[in-house]
């Protein structure tokens, strides 16, 4: 049975990643997609990246806003907005990453980082489309879809350098990009990404639950605090799924699987959430294509 998996924000939590992968790999997936934020806050960023690079199944790795902050700090990319990119990265948990790679000084980290890891970060993808059968296209992105960036442009941007050029040429604040966006995405009509089901991380579901409660929206369906399924208010189709369980805060990590079940290519959703002590497998039902 063909299956495709998407794994949420990791933030240096290697024990959670190992526990989740142990369960996901039992399904012999066609592909595993990581939605970004491998580093910062948690203590084992280097080990997380090593583990991902060792995987023997097809893997696609997206960039998260934390990888962008780290590269911006390393390249002194402040977008002319008056703040220090180094301070911004440190404020968001960068020191844990620096220590994970064995450095005590940012400037040693900047000058002596192994090229294997630099290549990993610079080549992270901006978005990735997975065709699950003939009728479902899943668009993986770190934070969602940005109304400031046409969808065709978002999908065509290949890496960090291409994104930076685009943001500067179009005079777009990084906070309005698909690596950072939150409220604007959740308030946007799903017609912005028509034809795709979007899978993303970035916003911990606990935080999203507060936002949705405040705004009184009822087409966001929460599965505990582990993932959130957004449906179209008119036809009931799933249009996006948030899989950020807040690993560092909650001690939980979620993977989302799309399974092609039969000759009719019915697609079924399953998820696995792990904590240090428990595993929570879920059958989330069929996807209306």
pLDDT tens by residue, 252-279: 999 999 999 877 789 999 999 999 999 9
At 233 the pLDDT is 79
| 82 has pLDDT over 70 | no
Of 240, 160, 128, 129, whose CA–CA distance to 192 is shortest? Answer: 240
At 39 the pLDDT is 98
| 118 has pLDDT over 60 | yes
Band (pLDDT 50/70/90 cuts) for residue 78 is low
- Over residues 104-132, the mean pLDDT reads 95
At 81 the pLDDT is 59
At 185 the pLDDT is 96
What beta strand segments (E) does the chain contain? 3-7, 31-34, 59-61, 127-132, 136-141, 197-200, 220-223, 227-231, 238-242, 253-260, 267-274, 279-286
% of the chain at pLDDT higher than 70: 97
Q: Which domains are seen in the chain, by residue range?
A: 3-286 (3.60.21.10)
Of 128 and 216, the one with more pLDDT = 128
Of 218 and 110, the one with more pLDDT = 110
Of 45, 51, 72, 47, whose CA–CA distance to 180 is shortest? Answer: 72
Tell me what the pLDDT averaged over the chain comes to. Answer: 94
Spatial contact of 75 and 44, defined as CB atoms under 8 Å apart: no
């Amino acid at each position: 049975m063909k299956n495709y998996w998407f794994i949420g924000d990791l933030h240096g939590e290697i024990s959670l990643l190992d526990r989740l992968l142990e369960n996901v790999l039992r399904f012999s997936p066609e592909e595993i997609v990581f939605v970004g934020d491998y580093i910062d806050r948690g203590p084992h960023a280097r080990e997380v990246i090593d583990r991902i690079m060792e995987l023997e199944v097809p893997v696609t790795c997206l960039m998260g806003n934390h990888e962008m902050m780290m590269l911006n700090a390393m390249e002194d990319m402040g977008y002319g907005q008056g703040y220090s990119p180094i301070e911004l990265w440190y404020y968001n948990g960068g020191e844990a990453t620096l220590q994970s790679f064995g450095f005590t000084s940012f400037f040693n980290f900047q000058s002596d980082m192994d090229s294997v890891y630099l290549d990993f970060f610079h080549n992270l993808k901006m978005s990735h489309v997975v065709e699950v059968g003939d009728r479902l296209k899943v668009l993986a992105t770190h934070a969602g879809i940005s109304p400031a960036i046409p969808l065709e442009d978002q999908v065509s941007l290949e890496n960090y350098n291409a994104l930076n050029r685009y943001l500067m040429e179009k005079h777009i604040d990084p906070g309005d990009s698909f690596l950072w966006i939150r409220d604007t995405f959740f308030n946007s009509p799903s017609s912005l990404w028509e034809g795709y089901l979007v899978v993303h991380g970035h916003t911990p579901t606990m935080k999203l639950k507060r936002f949705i409660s405040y705004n009184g929206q009822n087409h966001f369906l929460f599965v505990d605090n582990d993932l959130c399924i957004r449906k179209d208010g008119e036809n009931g189709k799933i249009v996006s799924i948030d899989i950020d369980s807040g690993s560092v805060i909650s001690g939980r990590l979620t993977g989302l699987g799309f399974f092609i079940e039969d000759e009719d290519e019915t697609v079924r959703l399953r998820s696995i959430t792990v904590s240090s002590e428990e595993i929570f497998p879920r059958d989330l039902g069929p996807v209306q294509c």
